[in-house]
Amino acid sequence: MKGSGKKRRKLNRLGKITLGSFILFCMVLTYFIWDGIAEKNAAARKNILMPTKIVENVNAKDRQSDSIEGKTNMAKEKNQDEQGLESDEQIIDPKKNDQTTNDENKKHEQELEKHKQEIEKQKQELEKRKQEIRKHEEELNKQKEETEKHKQEIEQHQKDVKQHNENSKKDQQQSEQPANEKPPVKTPKKEQPKEKAPAKTGKIVYLTFDDGPHAVSMDILKLLKKYNAKATFFMLEPNMRNYPKAVKAMVKDGHAVGVHGVSHDVSKVYRSPASFVGEMNKAIAFIQKTTNVQTHLIRAPYGSKPYVTAPFKAEANKENMILWDWNIDSTDWKMTNGAYVNSVIQQTIQFNKKEPLIVLMHEKPTTLAHLEKLLKYYKDNGYEMKAVDETMSPVQFK
């Protein structure tokens, strides 16, 4: 029994040691757990993020590695959070929201600035256009002024032409230097419509007498004067030599004097353009010498048809001659009994051409014998009997 008691005490001692060791182990374990929790809490306090992560790692034996891992995880989490924030809707983050608003404001401000600039630009363009309009208006006004000026110039020119015409008419009646006589020859064609206008009324008649002068010329002039009539005389050079006083009287009385050549012989006067113009020039020279009038009025013997062909006309034009035919033939050379008067009156009434009334007569006793009847008719019927002048476009056979 003594051996079994020793054994029991030995067992009790072993149990006490085992129990003590166990308690010590438990205490140590508790300490570690407690320490671990405390550490984690501290870490969690430092960074609010994910305390669960720490709990998960609590059981890890290596505190340092645990801590490092925790820190790494935390860093990862933090990183993820930031990334998430960036991808998340901006409204969630007030900071981000503010920035967005700022950006928008900035954007708006920029747009506003842009609009302002555009408005400024448009204003400038408007101003530019206004200036252009003003410029156009000024130009328009300028043009108006110029037009007005031109109008006045034209009017002045017309006055000048009128004055010139009157002067040349005067010159025809009196006398003038040949140099000044030339220009009016070119003007007649311009003045044609102006001069023709009165003829259309049918109240102007141009009496013409060929083949003179003659012994009866002075009586014809006397009669014309009585009826306040002016006429035109186309005279032959030899007859003018015989009656120079008549030529002078014609000019003095205000009639027009022209030439009819020299020979009145078809074979001579129309032998060539040169002979035609030569005869005319000889007669013109006589008038010039006798009256000082430089005339350009000519009438071809027997009329311009058929003898005065283009070469004849060209030659006459070179000398600025004005060739007159007629449109009322009295045939007074044939109707010696005075019947020509009624013929002329009838032709005058029936006249429907748009040209001046040009009556052909001759300086003959039988013409003079019945002339008064014709002059009376014209006067009583309101006709003005006028002499042709060099400003008129001549009536010619067509």
Listed residue (379, 309, 329, 162) closest to 154, CA to CA: 162
Closer residue to Zn ion (CB): 184 or 301: 301
**Residues 391, 166: Cα–Cα separation, whole Å:** 9
- The least CB distance from residue 301 to Zn ion, in Å, is 5
Residue in the shown chain whose Cβ atom is closest to Zn ion: 210
Q: Which positions ≥6 away from 361 have C-beta within 8 Å?
A: 207, 208, 209, 210, 330, 332, 340, 367, 371
Beta bridge partners of 359: 207, 328
Closest to 180 (Cα-Cα) out of 300, 318, 320: 320
CB of 375 to Zn ion, least distance (A): 22
For the CB of residue 261, give the shortest distance to Zn ion in the complex, in Å: 8
Per-residue CA distances from 81 to 30, 203, 229 (Å): 35, 120, 129
CB of 187 to Zn ion, least distance (A): 28
* In the complex, minimum distance from the CB of residue 210 to Zn ion, in angstroms, rounded to a whole number: 4
**364 vs 370 by CB, closer to Zn ion:** 364
CB closer to Zn ion out of 326 and 378: 326
Contact positions toward Zn ion, by CB under 5 A? Answer: 210-211, 301
Tell me the closest approach of the beta carbon of residue 212 to Zn ion, in angstroms: 9
Nearer to Zn ion, 113 or 265 (CB): 265
CB 392 within 8 A of CB 192: yes
Amino acid (one-letter) located at 268: K
Q: CA torsion, points 104, 105, 111, 114, in degrees to nearest 10?
A: -140
How close are the terminal C-alpha atoms of the chain, in Å?
192
The smaller minimum CB distance to Zn ion, of residues 210 and 329, is found at: 210
- Compute the least distance from the CB of residue 271 to Zn ion, in Å: 17
Of the two residues 210 and 389, which places its CB atom closer to Zn ion in the complex?
210
Contacts of 258 (CB under 8 A, 6+ apart): 232, 233, 234, 235, 295, 297, 298, 299, 324
**Shorter beta-carbon distance to Zn ion: residue 181 or 211:** 211
